[in-house]
């Protein structure tokens, strides 16, 4: 069977998709035929990004809700399934990080990070996965982090939530695989996104990233979008329960 990245007729929901890695993933899926629901907390930004994609001849719509509101996420998935008759691809990309020394890290900040990064992914995956299983085909892609494998100081909630997301990926892959639904994670390294621009412009941090990454540079968002496209398509149909690290070799090196 020829390798196919064609997503024509597929419906996808990408959370946190109005900028950075999420927007690059949404565009890549749309460019390969999917109808993409663009999510963030901000309706105006969702509408704007959807208009940009449709102006380019692609299929997109706004799907604004706060992933921290688990009930809102449940309703959004149900609405997409009802209106389109299907939901084939879910990309759990929305996430948040909070930096604080351990002694000052509050319970509220811990709960907020874990709720957005892990609980929301579980709820959306449960709702979408149930619909996908009934249809006999589906793709769930969790955007984790290299912090799902290693750690840095002052971000305990982020590290823990991303490790949890890696475990959730395996658990759902095992349960949903027999129904034709694959579940995989992507572990991004350091990418030159709008959100990371202050870090790119920080000479010391920029030098650290480049010196510790074997390819010697930051990643381009399109390079992560390619990994997501592979996992979302028939070309990646036998990949299930995997974590694909896209970090230029950073976590492979010991410097």
In the residue annotation, 190 being an active-site residue is answered as no
Three-state SS string over the chain comes to CCCCCCCCCCEEEECCCCCHHHHHHHHHHHHCCCEEEECCCCHHHHHHHHHHHHHCCCEEEECCCCCCCHHHHHHHHHHHHHHHCCCCEEEECCCCCCCCCHHHCCHHHHHHHHHHHHHHHHHHHHHHHHHHHHHCCEEEEEECCHHHCCCCCCCHHHHHHHHHHHHHHHHHHHHHHHHCEEEEEEEECCECCCCCHHHHCCHHHHHHHHHHCCCCCCECHHHHHHHHHHHHCHHHCCCCCCEEEECCCHHHCCC
Catalytic residue chosen out of the listed positions 158, 190, 238, 255: 158
By annotation, the residues acting in catalysis are 158
């Amino acid at each position: 069977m020829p390798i196919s990245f064609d997503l024509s007729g597929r419906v996808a929901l990408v959370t946190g998709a109005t900028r950075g890695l999420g927007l690059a993933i949404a565009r890549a899926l749309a460019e390969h035929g999917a109808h993409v629901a663009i999510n963030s907390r901000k309706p105006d930004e969702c509408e704007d990004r959807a208009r940009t994609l449709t102006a380019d001849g692609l299929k997109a719509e706004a799907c604004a809700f706060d992933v921290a509101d688990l009930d809102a996420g449940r309703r959004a998935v149900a609405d997409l399934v009802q209106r389109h008759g299907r939901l084939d691809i879910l990309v759990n990309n929305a996430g948040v990080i909070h930096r604080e020394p351990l002694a000052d890290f509050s319970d509220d900040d811990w709960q907020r990070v874990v709720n957005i990064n892990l609980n929301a992914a579980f709820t959306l995956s449960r709702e979408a996965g149930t619909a996908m299983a009934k249809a006999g085909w589906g793709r769930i892609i969790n955007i984790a982090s290299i912090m799902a494998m290693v750690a840095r100081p002052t971000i305990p909630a982020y590290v823990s939530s991303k490790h949890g997301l890696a475990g959730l990926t395996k658990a759902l892959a095992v349960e949903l695989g027999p129904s034709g639904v694959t579940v995989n994670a992507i572990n991004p390294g350091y990418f030159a996104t709008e959100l990371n621009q202050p870090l790119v412009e920080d000479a010391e941090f920029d030098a650290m990233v480049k010196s510790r990454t074997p390819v010697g540079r930051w990643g381009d968002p399109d390079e992560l979008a390619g990994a997501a496209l592979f996992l979302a398509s028939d070309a990646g149909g036998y990949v299930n329960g995997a974590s694909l690290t896209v970090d230029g070799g950073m976590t492979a090196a010991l410097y």
